[in-house]
Chain A
Amino acid sequence: MLTPDEERFLKGKAAKLRRLVLEAIYHAQSGHPGGSLSYVEILTVLYFHTLRFDPRHPADPGRDRFILSKGHACPALYAIFAELGIISPAELASLRRVGSRLQGHPDMTKLPGIEMSSGPLGLGLSAGLGMALAARLDKRDYRTYVVLGDGELQEGMVWEAAMAAAKFRAGNLTAIVDFNGVQLDGTTDEIMPLGDLAAKFGSFGWQVMETDGHDVNALAGVFAEAKKAVDKPVVIFARTIKGKGVSYMEGRYQWHGQVIDAEKYQLAIAELEAVKI
C-alpha cells in the first residue's frame, strides 16, 4: 500500500510524463502517442517505486533490468529518463532528429539506461529471459521487467519465450502487458483476437495477475506481489486505455502513430494541465 504522499507523488509524475510525451512527439511531428500514454502509470510506478535502480549509476550490476519490448512507446521512457536526470529535459526536443540519442525506437548503444534495443515487436521477452538467467548464473537477486503490448502478443516469438521462461523456472522475470485492446490497424479483437490470455499464460506455467493499469496503488501492489515469485515467471495484465489522458485519442487506433497538429496539441495540453492530483 502506498502512503497518501507516495500516491500523490506518483500521480503527479504520471501527469507530468504525459505532458512531456505529448510535447516531444509534437515537436518531432512523428511518433506514437497512443501506446506511449497508455503505460505511463506502469512506467512511473516501476521507476519511482518498484525498481532497484539508481539513476546516478545506470550500469550498476545489481540493478533491476527493464526492457520496453513495445519500443515504439519510448517517448514515455525518455520522459521518465528526463525526470530521473539521466538525460536533460531539453534533450527530449531532439526525439527522432538526426544525431539524437533519442531514436524512434530505443537504442542501447546510444543512450545509457536503455537495457536492450527494441522496436521489432516480440523480441523483448526473450532478451529479458536471458537477463533473468544471467542473474541466476551470477547468483544476483536483481529482477527483470519487460513491458509488452497486447497486440505484440500476436508475435509467435513471445510464446517461444513464454515456454522457455516456464521451463527455466524464471521466477525473477516479470512481464507486464499494457492491455489497451488497440493496435495499429484497429482493436485487437478485430485484427487478431488474443483469446483467453490469462488461461494461455497460466497453462504455459506462468503466474498470472491482473490490475487496473492506471491505478498507481493497484500497480504498486501487484508489483510487490510479483517480487515474491520464486520459480514461476509472472505476467501482469494491466488494463489500460490507449491514448489515456487525451480525450480525442482514448481508445482510438487512429492515434497509434498519427502526427499531432498545433490545434490538437493545444487541446491535449489543456486537458492534461487540467488534471487535478
Chain B
Amino acid sequence: MNINMDMDMGPVAGEKSLLNYRDWAALPRKSCREAYGAALRRLGEINDQVVVLEADVGNSTKSVLFSEAFPDRYFNVGIAENNMLGVAAGLAACGKIPFANTFAVFATMRAGDPLRSLIAYTGLNVKVAASYAGLSDSYDGATHQSVEDLAIARALPNLTVLVPADAHQTVQAVMAAAAYRGPVFIRLSRAVLPVIYKEEAGFPIGRGRVLRRGADVTLIACGYMVYKALQAAEMLAADYSIKAGVIDMSTIKPLDTALLREAAEETGRIVTIEEHSIHGGLGSAVAEYLIQHHPVPMRLLGLPDVFGESGDYEALLTHFRLDAPGITKAVADFCR
C-alpha cells in the first residue's frame, strides 16, 4: 500500500513522533517483550531503587533480562501472582520502585484483590507490567489472552493505565512509568509488531496523540490497533474518500478528555478500536466522557462480549474484524 498524503490535511503535531509509516512494507518489526526486558534492564542501571518481581514467566515476559544484570534486585516468587503483588506493595512502602511481571489476565483477575487493595487503594508506587495482553498470546487461547484487563484496571481509583503501541513506545512507557510516582498498570504485547514510533518519541502520560488529522471521523485506538487504524485511515481515504483522523490514546486513565472533545468537535464521529472487549475498555472510557459532555455518533470496535480463541495472531485479529480491511469496512458503513 502506498497512498499519497492528503495535502490539505496539514501537518499534525503527533506525526512528528512517527516513522514514515506509510511505507508499510519497510517498517521495522520489533518484539515488544524483548524491548520491555531491555528497558527494564536499562532502568536498573539508571535507578538502583528499581526492583523486579516475577511469577515464573520471566522467560516469557522477558523480565529475565533484568535478572541477569541485577540478581539481587530480582525476586521470582514462583507461580503465585497474588503474593507477587503483595510483596511489591511492601517493597514500595519502603521506597522501592517495584515492577511486577505476569500476564495481564493474571495481573487483573487472579491477583485482582492485591491489585486493588494493596496497590490502587494505597496509591503505592508499584508498576504492574501486564504482559501477553489482548490476543497477543494468540495460540494459547482464551485462558491466557486478556480482553477484560482494561475494564478492571480502569475501574480502580488511583491506578494509571498505559497501553504502548509498539516496541519503541513500550520502552518509553517503562521509563515514563518509573518516573511517575504512583501505581501504574502497563498493558504489554507479546507480539513482534511493526514499529511506527521513533525511538525517542517520549510517552506523555495522560495525553493522547493526534497522528493524523481527519474531517469526517476520528479513529481512537490503543496498542497494536493504532497501526491498524493508521492503515485503515489510508484505505478509507483511497477507497471511500473518507477523511479519517487517528488518535493514539496510549493512556486509558487518566483520559485525555480535552483531546476527545476536540476530535468530536472536529469530525463529529468517533470510532474506538481496541484489542479488548468493547465492554469496559477504551471505547467505554471514551463513550463515558462524550455522552456526558459532547455527544456524537460513535462505534466501538473490539471483541463483542466473547472470549478469544487459539490461532495465528493476525488471523485472529481478522476473525474479530480488527484488521485494516475490517476496520475500514466498519468505519465506511458508519460514515455512510
A-B contact number at CB 8 A: 109
Complex Cα gap A123–B113 (Å):
9
Complex Cα gap A179–B123 (Å):
32
Asked if A129 and B80 sit within 8 Å, CB to CB, the answer is no
Which of B29-37, B91-99, B163-171 faces chain A?
A: B91-99
Complex Cα gap A65–B265 (Å):
53
Complex Cα gap A132–B86 (Å):
12
Asked if B117 and A164 sit within 8 Å, CB to CB, the answer is no
Asked if A164 and B78 sit within 8 Å, CB to CB, the answer is yes
Which of A11-19, A108-116, A217-225, A236-244 faces chain B?
A: A108-116
Complex Cα gap A157–B117 (Å):
14
Complex Cα gap A109–B123 (Å):
8
- Considering only residues 114-142 of chain A, those with a C-beta below 8 Å from chain B are 115-120, 122-135, 137-138
Asked if B118 and A160 sit within 8 Å, CB to CB, the answer is no
Interface string of B91-115 (1 = CB under 8 A from A): 1111110100000000000000110
* Residues in B whose Cβ lies below 8 Å from that of A61: 95
Complex Cα gap A178–B95 (Å):
29
Asked if A116 and B83 sit within 8 Å, CB to CB, the answer is no
Asked if A116 and B91 sit within 8 Å, CB to CB, the answer is no
Asked if B122 and A129 sit within 8 Å, CB to CB, the answer is no
* Residues in A whose Cβ lies below 8 Å from that of B89: 116, 126-127, 130
Nearest-neighbour CB distance to chain A for B11, whole angstroms, equals 45
* Residues in B whose Cβ lies below 8 Å from that of A131: 90-91, 93-94
Asked if B75 and A133 sit within 8 Å, CB to CB, the answer is yes
Complex Cα gap A168–B77 (Å):
9
Asked if A164 and B94 sit within 8 Å, CB to CB, the answer is no
Complex Cα gap A262–B87 (Å):
43
* Residues in A whose Cβ lies below 8 Å from that of B91: 130-131, 133-134
Residue of A128, A132, A135, A160 touching B77 (CB-CB under 8 A): A160
* Residues in B whose Cβ lies below 8 Å from that of A124: 86
Asked if A115 and B93 sit within 8 Å, CB to CB, the answer is yes
The total of chain B residues at the interface (CB under 8 A) is 29
Asked if B80 and A127 sit within 8 Å, CB to CB, the answer is no
- Considering only residues 147-184 of chain A, those with a C-beta below 8 Å from chain B are 156-157, 160-161, 163-164, 167-168
Nearest-neighbour CB distance to chain B for A84, whole angstroms, equals 20
Closest to A131 in B: B90
Residue of A65, A107, A108, A130 touching B86 (CB-CB under 8 A): A130
Nearest-neighbour CB distance to chain B for A115, whole angstroms, equals 7
Complex Cα gap A133–B90 (Å):
9
- Considering only residues 107-146 of chain B, those with a C-beta below 8 Å from chain A are 113-114, 117-118, 121-123
* Residues in B whose Cβ lies below 8 Å from that of A120: 113, 117
Asked if B73 lies at the interface with its beta carbon under 8 angstroms from chain A, I say yes
* Residues in A whose Cβ lies below 8 Å from that of B88: 130
Asked if B72 lies at the interface with its beta carbon under 8 angstroms from chain A, I say yes
Complex Cα gap A210–B252 (Å):
50
Complex Cα gap A111–B115 (Å):
21
Complex Cα gap A33–B299 (Å):
53
Asked if B87 and A126 sit within 8 Å, CB to CB, the answer is yes
Residue of A117, A132, A144, A161 touching B83 (CB-CB under 8 A): A161
Complex Cα gap A39–B123 (Å):
29
Closest to B76 in A: A167
Asked if B51 and A123 sit within 8 Å, CB to CB, the answer is no
Nearest-neighbour CB distance to chain B for A191, whole angstroms, equals 20
Residue of B72, B86, B122, B123 touching A161 (CB-CB under 8 A): B86
A107, A115, A126: most-surrounded residue (chain B CB, <10 A): A126
Asked if A127 and B96 sit within 8 Å, CB to CB, the answer is no
Q: When A108-B122, A109-B122, A116-B122 are in contact, do A137 and B96 touch as well, CB less than 8 Å?
A: yes
Asked if B82 lies at the interface with its beta carbon under 8 angstroms from chain A, I say yes
- Considering only residues 56-79 of chain B, those with a C-beta below 8 Å from chain A are 72-73, 75, 77-78
Q: When A108-B122, A117-B121, A164-B77 are in contact, do A128 and B90 touch as well, CB less than 8 Å?
A: yes
Q: When A137-B73, A137-B96 are in contact, do A164 and B121 touch as well, CB less than 8 Å?
A: no
* Residues in A whose Cβ lies below 8 Å from that of B72: 137
Complex Cα gap A130–B82 (Å):
13
Closest to A136 in B: B72
Residue of B51, B82, B90, B95 touching A157 (CB-CB under 8 A): B82
* Residues in A whose Cβ lies below 8 Å from that of B80: 157, 160, 163-164
Complex Cα gap A123–B84 (Å):
11
Closest to B158 in A: A109
Which residues of A come within 8 Å of B, CB atoms? Answer: 61, 65, 107-109, 115-120, 122-135, 137-138, 144, 156-157, 160-161, 163-164, 167-168
Some 27 contacts from A to B, beta carbons below 8 A apart, are A109-B121, A116-B93, A117-B117, A117-B118, A117-B122, A123-B117, A126-B83, A126-B86, A127-B90, A127-B93, A128-B90, A129-B86, A130-B86, A130-B87, A130-B98, A131-B90, A131-B93, A133-B75, A133-B90, A134-B94, A138-B94, A161-B86, A163-B78, A163-B80, A164-B83, A164-B87, A167-B78
Which residues of B come within 8 Å of A, CB atoms? Answer: 51, 72-73, 75, 77-78, 80, 82-83, 85-96, 98, 113-114, 117-118, 121-123
Known: A122-B82, A123-B118, A157-B86. 12 other contacts (CB 8 A): A108-B93, A109-B122, A116-B90, A116-B93, A123-B113, A123-B117, A126-B86, A126-B89, A131-B94, A134-B90, A157-B114, A161-B86
